[in-house]
Structure 1
Amino acid sequence: MPTPPTPAASITRAERAVQNRHRGAVLWLTGLSGAGKSTVAQALARRLFEMDCRSYVLDGDQLRSGLCADLGFSDAARSENIRRAGELAALFADAGMIVIGAFISPFAADRARVRALVPDGAFLEVFCQCPLALCEERDVKGLYRRARDGQLAEFTGISSPYEAPDAPDLVLDTAGGSVEDALASLLLLLRERHVTHQA
């Protein structure tokens, strides 16, 4: 028996945007471990909540303990991790939310695939730029030390590459800038790209 076609959505993205007073979008924070992605993501989520915007943070560690718990850290597994995260982010954005993804996402091709999942330019790539040495200083989990001691194979920035974005929508200096500086830049980006109407 053939599978019946999926019914068309009864609520459009435009209708959700009117109700929410903002567009659905994916704000994708990428950078090395320790670059400040999660800190910035959570601060932005709080600020958007205070602005009555519907948002949600998808964090790499969070997904690794659940949806992606079956994946390792080979190149193929990292790509699959980001594919799953991207599919989830696209669904949240389609539901009208501002999704804040905080993922190392080391490979440019994987980030490009996520961008392709989100229609009408609603994917915003944000590079959290921070020197490796400072990321190592901030490493409360001791992951960099373990990687340098050979206890963690294929660790991004040490034994596995990180491909920095060539043309991100925004570069955040998470080494010298404050969280408030980052928030101001992110809110301006969301307003300029017509995701939000206030900042």
Structure 2
Amino acid sequence: MSLTHKVDSLLSDVHSRLRLPRCSNRRGTYDTIASGYSHGQGQIHPTNFSISAHNQPIVEEILQSREMQRVARFVDHGLQSYFPKVHRLLTNLTRILQNTPSLQLKHNFPGSCFAASQYNFTNAATGNHIDFMDGFFLCCAIWNGGKFNPKLGVTLFSGALELSSNFRPALALLYPPPRSFMEIFRFNLMSIGTPLRSLPLLKFYDGILITS
């Protein structure tokens, strides 16, 4: 069984057991849960994402999965290859935050510089939205799982970057930094046709963590 199929099977099983609120977020209407740590929404210092007592051991299964750890390392190595200075910055910052006892931050995956992961389920398709969270010179990493025809599957659109990309299974995409400080990320991830199943995973590092 391929890595993509193993991840697909894991996330499908996990999704069936998670208790997730049936509501829309500002990006769209789909099931999603995050792990790792962030900073914002009134927090005065970086904190771990809040996960319910029921969901915590299920999310831990994702974090302990060898397949998910391989995906995390794959994405991390991609960032290191294309944006080595950004990778070095995030790696050093992660080390500093992890070695600050008062924060007690839980890192997602060994060998990954990203502070947080967002697991999206049920053919996640976002609306056109602005990403307020990434630093203006950082990258979001998106890895796409599931089963679908890439020509009739998931496409990433960005008006700001004049970018449109077919998003086949097992592809990792580093959403590039903006061309200037004032440029705003506005993009959407949408389904074209009727994919069997799409499971986009997002890895990110909140820009405000750099100033924490």
TM-score, with structure 1 as normaliser: 0.28
Higher relative contact order (CA 8 A, sep 6+): 1
In terms of fraction of residues, the more helix-rich structure is 1
State which structure, 1 or 2, has the greater radius of gyration over its C-alpha atoms: 1
In terms of fraction of residues, the more strand-rich structure is 2
TM-score, with structure 2 as normaliser: 0.27
